[in-house]
Amino acid sequence: MNPIQVLSDEELDELDDFLLSDDTPDSCMDLPALDGFFAALVLNPEQVMPSEYLPWIWDIEEGEEGPSFASIEQANHMMGLVMRYYNGVLDEIRRGCFAPLFYTLLQEDGSEFYDAEGWAEGFMRGVYLFSEPWMAVFEHHHTLLAPMVLLGTEAGWELLDSSNDIRHATQEAYEAIASAVALLDEHFRAQREVQSLLRQVHPGEGGVRIESFDMSVSTVARNDACPCGSGLKYKKCCGAPPTLH
């Protein structure tokens, strides 16, 4: 297995700039939303393939619009950054050292306040899109999702608006996110191990950990095995539209 290649600060800035650029739809996730989205995917004990989730990165609302890459080289490069970012989130959660990425807002008094709504929206999008394993959490362990629901859903925003101290309630919520992620990782551990065993028995029906790979159509034929490790043909997995626009 290849070692994790953590994105450098320059690469993080580059990815952030691209997500916010005119080359992506207005509904494209920003970097904190992507961080939250990937956290939800990593926690999900059922493997979610890139062809299923990539469209929602570019269009968080409908999953239909896509980016305009200037060249196949740019597409390969940006997709490589996205996949490495996913692997970084995966590694941090599994090692128990995940730190959610928030934008920092400088206050008039010079203090800092974290804007965690984008992160929570991305997380909840990942929960709602691939919801089957999460239904039991909502029903029996809803407190594990409390900070994400509070900061990332309309129902949560309404609760915040009714709070006597919105700033304090918001701060408590975002400070609880890292612990909630760790508890959810532990909660899904047994299910994840079962799914892992099933994928070993039926390798063509699941997936393996997503490593960085080259999306270039010049090196991967449509009928070749997909380099993400799903066991499917490239044209049926990461090469299926609208994965690459």
Given this model, what pLDDT does residue 58 score? 97
- How does pLDDT run across 68-102, given as a tens digit for each residue? 999 999 999 999 999 999 999 999 999 999 999 99
Res 224: pLDDT: 60
The answer, yes or no, to whether residue 215 has pLDDT greater than 60, is: no
Model confidence over 192-203: pLDDT tens digits?
887 777 666 555
The percent of residues in the chain predicted with pLDDT above 90, rounded, is 63
Q: Is 232 left (phi over 0), alpha (psi -120 to 50) or beta?
A: beta
User: How sure is the predictor about 239, in pLDDT bands with cuts at 50, 70 and 90?
Assistant: low
Q: What is the pLDDT of residues 22-32, one digit of tens each?
A: 999 999 999 99
Mean pLDDT along residues 136-145: 93
pTM above 0.85, yes or no: no
- In whole angstroms, what is the distance from residue 226 CA to residue 53 CA? 16
Task: Tell me the three state secondary structure of residue 113.
Answer: strand
Torsion of CA 162, 165, 168, 169, to 10 degrees: -20
List the domain boundaries for the chain: 9-201
- What is the four-CA torsion angle of 18, 25, 91, 42, rounded to 10 degrees? 180
pLDDT greater at residue 2 or residue 161:
161
Nearest residue to 28 (alpha-carbon basis) of 118, 120, 154, 153: 118
Q: Which CATH number fits domain 9-201: 3.60.40, 1.10.3470, 1.10.760, 1.20.120?
A: 1.20.120
168-209 pLDDT per residue, tens:
888 899 999 999 999 999 999 988 887 777 666 555 544 433
